[in-house]
């Protein structure tokens, strides 16, 4: 009865509503905390039910049309997914003979159908897309924001974070942990049980793909109690997010590798086929996208296919490879969806597909305790950052344009109070900066773990993390340049947010580069390096102006090539040597000359040495910062480049130079399937370095799409104004000088072999290799106190 909610008396709620909301909040907190403590799967799910019912009661207490529709929609979603989970748990208990989670370990190996359906239910109840509970939770949180109760929205999100802890615990116990030898292998559940589970799992997915279906049932009930506001109808329309075919193909085509469970090579090839098909669909059907979205949508599947091809060799000895390819392909599909998104809610929908369960499953693939622990920490941090974006979406409105195609409708958000627009934009910026792992005080939480499979590590660093930069670019260009053209940019304090983000990026450049200098783990060096290089992009995009946006986007493209190449080099080194620390390497350049050459190209690129690609983008970024009156930040970015040179030189010396150890005599080059992707990326580093205009032309088109200015661009780079220089001409001169030097050495210099300088030591124990911790001597020891240094492998 709507009359019970007619008069607001307590914190904007009626007496009846406040009592219902208080009881719901108390039940939510009690249920989630009690579920967190359980080791009995049925008791855990039972307390989880209390938490979910608490959410529903809390929302109903707000007494609005949207709250009622959202709560009723979640009741329907909960009925399906909780029935799925209890029936699945019953099947597991039937076979294992125990309700304890510890006794259910590894049941995915012997009950794959049952556990797969359970996984669908667990992902759904966490409120993750593309399943039905994502939309019902969104409606509940949106109703709390609209009713002026952001604290209640925050409570629902916190409850979801707590729930994610024990739901992921169930998931990793069933899917990733090995079945212990002291526990019996069991048979799959009977087909009668499996049929029911599959029907419920399919319903969870179908109602997620068609969210209007459950809404048609609940809207008449909500309308019988309350009258909808005009904004309520906009919110309902926003959940009907379109699924372009080039997004649906990778997300659902990710199931294809599962059909090749016994043939890892064909599992990899099927994943690569899906990604290449996605790229072809983007080329032919994605012309309606703006230039920025189109370019990103094309890069995602192409680089993904390259990494999958590399993974054929790298993961040749890994287990359940099909599962990795399924998760990796779906993750790429989420990234393509982000690119194709026109409105803010659509962007967030695919953001969650990309950064939640698909990413967790790809990182946790190996299944050992360390990998599962690190994957969960990264998953939890991603979900936390997504919470800021979620609230920002609700504050600004789900139909807020988020591409140049729809920016003519952007002025609608300025009908909102100024502080609301400012707050929503700040929340989005916080979420994007968190995803970019900026200010890395705890890199082990913010960045993907070194224990992740190298193909996904390289992809996360080179492509996936650029989703945050894509978000910042769209946010700042839409709220900045585009609004300036229509005379409404003064409606919110754009400069304050951009200045804060600039300083975060600048400080992160130096912090992360210093940490890269301190560590000796092969992959961790370049994980820190990724955070530092993303700092350049954040700094440039936040600086704004045509020069800043161009420098940031050019560095995004360059980073795709050289950072993926660096990680693939790391993977080749680890594959050949079975070592993951610089302390265990040395002198392998003689054994792996091709890999050494690839490292040299990527290393020069990341430092920013012409004629490789990194120089052009950093050159433009320096000029953009000076143009933005930020000389100190320009200096910080230059210091970051010096530190980058230091850790690249350290890696080069410790891994490739010097005399090889006896235990590395067996080392040989990585297989062809790993070398070909490296060569393609290296060619990309060189071509984009010599001809930066190839990338600057589409970037200039992007600036035009967003009314952010324009630059005078030629094949050799910027032709006029700050940052202008001739990359092609310099490359030609360097090539001539190199050829002349080579001729002089071959013609006039006599090379002789000499003994290694022994420094007074006997020749049988003398070595020309310096330990990594001694390369910079006391400098590294003095930097060990540096804030955020969480390294455990630093032996200096």
Mean pLDDT of successive 10-residue stretches along the chain, which has 796 residues: 58 80 95 96 96 95 91 95 96 95 93 96 95 95 90 94 96 93 91 96 95 91 86 84 94 95 93 97 92 94 95 87 94 95 92 93 88 88 90 86 74 67 86 84 66 88 91 84 47 73 92 89 91 94 92 95 94 91 88 94 94 92 93 93 94 86 84 94 95 95 88 93 90 93 85 57 55 71 57 42
Structure tokens at 506: 């600048």
> Residue 671: inside a domain, yes or no?
no
The residue whose two tokens read 């002349």 is: 740
What pLDDT is stored for residue 792 in this prediction? Answer: 42
Is 788:515 a contact under the CB 8 Å cutoff? yes
Instruction: Count CA atoms closer than 13 A to 752's CA, side-chain side.
Output: 3
Q: Which of 286, 288, 313, 310 is nearest to 299 (CA)?
A: 286
- Cα separation values, 129 from 49, 121, 155, Å: 20, 12, 20
Sign of CA dihedral 81, 82, 85, 87: negative
Per DSSP, 100 falls in state: B
Give phi and psi for 13, each to the nearest 5.
Answer: -120, 155
Per DSSP, 142 falls in state: H
What pLDDT is stored for residue 287 in this prediction? Answer: 87
Q: Which of 233, 191, 48, 67 is nearest to 136 (CA)?
A: 67
Q: Which of 329, 331, 330, 351 is nearest to 340 (CA)?
A: 351
What pLDDT is stored for residue 765 in this prediction? Answer: 52
Give the distance from CA 495 to its chain's centroid: 27
Residues linked to residue 17 through DSSP beta bridges, in sequence order: none
Q: What is the dihedral of CA 349, 354, 358, 359, to 10 degrees?
A: -140
Q: Which of 326, 268, 340 is nearest to 298 (CA)?
A: 340
DSSP for 673-690, written as a single string: HHHHHHHHHHHHHHHHHH
Q: Which of 526, 352, 528 is nearest to 446 (CA)?
A: 528
Q: How many domains does the chain have?
A: 1
Provide the domain limits for residue 56.
1-240
3-class secondary structure per residue, 335-397: HHHHHHCCEHHHHHHHHHHHHCHHHHHHHCCCCCHHHHHHHHHHHHHHHHHHHHHHHHHHHHC
What pLDDT is stored for residue 779 in this prediction? Answer: 67
Is 367:326 a contact under the CB 8 Å cutoff? no
> Residue 264: inside a domain, yes or no?
no
> Residue 149: inside a domain, yes or no?
yes
> Residue 139: inside a domain, yes or no?
yes
Give phi and psi for 718, each to the nearest 5.
Answer: -70, 135
> Residue 616: inside a domain, yes or no?
no
pTM of the model: 0.90
Q: Report the run of H or E that residue 189 belongs to, with start and end.
A: none
> Residue 203: inside a domain, yes or no?
yes
Angle at Cα 626 formed by Cα 621 and Cα 628, nearest 5°?
Answer: 95
Length of the chain, in residues: 796
- The rounded distance, in Å, linking the Cα atoms of 214 and 221 is 12
3-class secondary structure per residue, 712-739: CEECCEECCCCCCCCHHHHHHHHHHHHH
Q: What's the start-to-end Cα distance of the chain, in Å? A: 70
> Residue 541: inside a domain, yes or no?
no
């Amino acid at each position: 009865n709507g009359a019970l909610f007619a008069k607001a008396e307590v914190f904007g709620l009626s007496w009846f509503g406040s009592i219902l909301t208080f009881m719901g909040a108390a039940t939510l907190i009690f249920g989630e905390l009690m579920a967190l403590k359980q080791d009995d799967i049925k008791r855990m799910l039972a307390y989880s039910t209390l938490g979910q019912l608490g959410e529903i009661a809390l929302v109903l207490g707000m007494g609005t049309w949207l709250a009622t529709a959202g709560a009723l929609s979640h009741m329907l979603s909960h009925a399906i997914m909780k029935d799925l989970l209890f029936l699945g748990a019953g099947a597991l208990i039937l076979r294992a003979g125990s309700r304890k989670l510890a006794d259910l370990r590894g049941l995915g190996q012997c009950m794959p159908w049952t556990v797969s359906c359970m996984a669908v239910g667990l992902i759904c109840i966490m409120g993750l897309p593309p399943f039905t509970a994502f939309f019902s939770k969104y409606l509940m949180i949106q109703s709390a924001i609209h009713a002026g109760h952001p604290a209640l929205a925050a409570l629902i999100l916190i409850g979801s974070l707590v729930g994610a802890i024990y739901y992921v615990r169930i998931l990793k116990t069933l899917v990733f942990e090995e079945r212990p030898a002291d526990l019996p292998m069991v048979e799959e559940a009977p087909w009668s049980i499996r049929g029911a589970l599959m029907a419920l799992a399919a319903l969870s997915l179908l109602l997620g793909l068609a969210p209007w279906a459950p809404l048609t049932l609940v809207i008449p009930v909500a309308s019988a109690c309350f009258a909808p506001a005009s904004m309520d109808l906009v919110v309902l329309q926003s959940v009907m997010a379109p699924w372009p075919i080039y997004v649906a193909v990778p997300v659902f085509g990710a199931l294809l590798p599962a059909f090749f469970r016994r043939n890892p090579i064909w599992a990899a090839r099927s994943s690569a086929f899906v990604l290449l098909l996605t790229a072809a669909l983007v080329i032919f059907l994605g012309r309606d996208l703006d230039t920025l979205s189109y370019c990103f949508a094309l890069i995602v599947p192409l680089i993904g296919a390259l990494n999958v091809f590399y993974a054929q060799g790298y993961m040749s000895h890994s287990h359940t490879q099909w599962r990795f390819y399924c998760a990796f392909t779906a993750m790429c599909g989420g990234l393509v969806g982000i690119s194709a998104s026109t409105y803010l809610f659509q962007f967030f929908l695919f953001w969650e597909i990309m950064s939640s369960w698909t990413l967790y499953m790809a990182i946790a693939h190996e299944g050992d305790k360390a990998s599962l622990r690190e994957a969960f920490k990264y998953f939890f941090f991603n979900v936390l950052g997504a919470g800021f974006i979620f609230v920002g979406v609700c504050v600004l409105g789900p139909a807020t344009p988020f591409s140049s195609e729809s920016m003519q409708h952007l002025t609608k958000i300025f009908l909102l109070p100024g502080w609301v627009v400012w707050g929503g934009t700040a929340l989005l910026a916080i979420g994007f900066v968190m995803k970019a792992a900026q200010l890395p005080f705890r890199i082990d939480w913010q960045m993907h773990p070194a224990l992740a499979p190298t193909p996904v590590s390289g992809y996360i660093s080179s492509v996936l993390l650029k989703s945050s930069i894509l978000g910042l670019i769209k946010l700042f260009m839409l709220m900045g340049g585009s609004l300036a053209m229509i005379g409404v940019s003064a409606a919110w304090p754009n400069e304050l947010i951009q200045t804060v983000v600039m300083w975060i990026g600048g400080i992160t450049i130096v912090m992360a580069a210093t940490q890269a200098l301190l560590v000796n783990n092969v992959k961790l060096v370049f994980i820190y390096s990724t955070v530092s290089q993303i700092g350049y992009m954040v700094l440039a995009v936040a600086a704004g102006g045509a020069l800043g946006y161009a420098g940031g986007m050019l560095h995004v493209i360059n980073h795709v090539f050289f950072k993926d190449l660096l990680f693939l080099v790391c993977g080749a080194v680890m594959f050949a040597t079975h070592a993951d620390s610089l302390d265990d390497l040395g002198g392998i350049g003689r054994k792996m000359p091709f890999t050494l050459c690839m490292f040299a190209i990527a290393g020069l690129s990341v430092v920013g040495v012409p004629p490789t690609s990194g120089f052009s983008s950093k050159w433009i970024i320096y000029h953009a910062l000076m143009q933005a009156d930020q000389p100190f930040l320009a200096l910080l970015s230059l210091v970051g480049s010096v530190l980058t040179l230091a850790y690249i030189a350290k890696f080069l010396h410790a891994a490739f130079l010097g005399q090889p150890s006896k235990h590395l005599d067996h080392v040989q080059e990585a297989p062809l399937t790993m070398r070909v992707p490296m060569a393609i990326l290296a060619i990309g580093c060189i071509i984009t370095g010599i001809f930066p205009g190839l990338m600057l032309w589409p970037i200039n088109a992007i600036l035009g799409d967003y009314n952010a200015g324009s630059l005078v661009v030629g094949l050799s780079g910027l032709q006029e104004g700050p940052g202008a220089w001739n990359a092609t001409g310099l490359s030609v001169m360097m090539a001539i000088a190199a050829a002349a030097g080579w001729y002089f050495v071959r013609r006039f210099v006599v090379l002789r072999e000499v003994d290694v300088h022994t420094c007074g030591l006997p020749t049988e124990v003398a070595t020309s290799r310096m330990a990594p911790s001694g390369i910079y001597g006391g400098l590294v020891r003095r930097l060990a106190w540096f804030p955020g240094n969480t390294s455990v492998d630093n032996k200096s």
